[in-house]
Copies of this chain bind each other. A is one copy, B any other.
Amino acid sequence: MKQKITIKTIAKELGVSTSTVSKALRDSHEISSETKDKIQAYANLYNYKPNNLALQLRNQKTKVIGVILPKIVHHFFSTVIMGIEEGANKKGYNIMVCFSNESYKKEVETLKVLSNGSVDGLIVSIASETLENKDFKHFIDLVAEEIPLVLFDRVVDEILCDKVVVDDVGAGYKATKHLIENGRKKIALITTPNHVNVGALRRQGYEKALIEAYIKTDKNLIVEVDEKKDIKSQIEKVFKEDIDAVFAVNEIYAANSMRIAKEKGLSIPNEISIIGFTDGLISEYSSPSITTIAQHGFTMGMQAVELLIERIENETEIYRPKKIVISSDLKIRESTKPSS
């Protein structure tokens, strides 16, 4: 990189002190207008721009927000990023995005790097491996250091900080109830292993809806997908049971279910109804299009970043963690309809 022009260069060139240059560039009243003009002209000519690092060090703030996500090639998370970015930008912040790739180790490392002064605060959705381990020390340390932290979507009670979540229980309930109201009684649930708590919560909603309708939950109708293995073959098993509907806790599971149903020659939504989660492009463009629970990722990101910036900029306040619950809603499309 070319040697960038600094205040010192300007000072030397023009035979003044660095303080004079700094003041002149910030249009201080202490400097005579001739000197100001001279300095500003020189700065413009050589396209002087103050060094961010120096400013950040001096001001003890970076105006950068760190974001750690488990993955990115996923409609929900990319939507959240958009929300975060837009919210951050509005307040003059930039975002630094990293990925844990669902790995505990990478999450710990990334957290460590970012929390060493590179960012003013962090927005994180926890890696699945961490949820499985139940080892949250790295987050707890962060909170102890009083670095502003907002968790979203995948959160745990052990970490005392601000949180933004969707009403997963309610969403699972809504989805299941919709199927029940459509006359479905044998509803399969395609979910994640229980340690991914959003999956567990959605399952609670599913069970609640079934209980209310006096339907016994049947463990054989529940599939906990292990993403390390082939997804489709795991889901396929449940199709051997007698089912008339599928509730999948994400888009991919829903799309796979639909594909299997088609292969088996089942007509959708007549013989089998399918409902998904995350209102992404797959749900929208598949045919039939898939009824889903819209998670409002953009809103989540926006709320998370607003909460965080609030914390960053008003640190005097006594700290009382907030939890924002975003209600999700049902987007009815072609893959569900009342059974005739």
Q: Which residue of B lies closest to A298 (CB)?
A: B73
A56 interface contact, C-beta 8 A: yes
For A81, A96, A255, which residue has the most chain B Cβ atoms within 10 angstroms?
A96
The reply to whether A145 and B72 contact each other, CB–CB distance below 8 Å, is no
Binary per-residue interface labels of chain A (296-329) against chain B in the complex, 1 for a CB within 8 Å, 0 otherwise = 0000000000000000000100000000000000
CA distance in complex: A114, B63 (Å): 12
The reply to whether A95 and B94 contact each other, CB–CB distance below 8 Å, is no
A193 interface contact, C-beta 8 A: no
Say which one of A151-159, A165-173, A180-188, A280-288 lies at the interface with B. Answer: A280-288
The reply to whether A287 and B262 contact each other, CB–CB distance below 8 Å, is yes
Residues on B with beta carbons closer than 8 Å to the beta carbon of A56 = 53
A113 interface contact, C-beta 8 A: yes
Q: Which residue of B lies closest to A81 (CB)?
A: B72
Interface residues on A, range: 35 or more
A26 interface contact, C-beta 8 A: no
| Cβ-neighbour of A285 out of B62, B95, B282 (below 8 A) | B282
A257 CB to nearest chain B CB (Å):
11
Whether A73 touches B62, Cβ cut-off 8 Å, given contacts A49-B112, A287-B259, is: no
The reply to whether B118 and A53 contact each other, CB–CB distance below 8 Å, is yes
- Nearest 9 A/B pairs, CB to CB: A255-B285, A2-B146, A97-B97, A51-B117, A52-B116, A52-B117, A96-B96, A53-B57, A73-B78
Q: 6 A-B residue contacts at CB 8 Å? A: A53-B57, A53-B117, A82-B99, A252-B281, A285-B286, A286-B286
Q: Using a CB–CB distance below 8 Å, which chain A residues touch chain B?
A: 1-2, 4, 47, 49-54, 56-57, 62, 64, 72-75, 78-79, 81-82, 85, 94-99, 110, 112-118, 120, 141, 145-148, 251-252, 255-256, 258-259, 262, 281-282, 285-287, 315
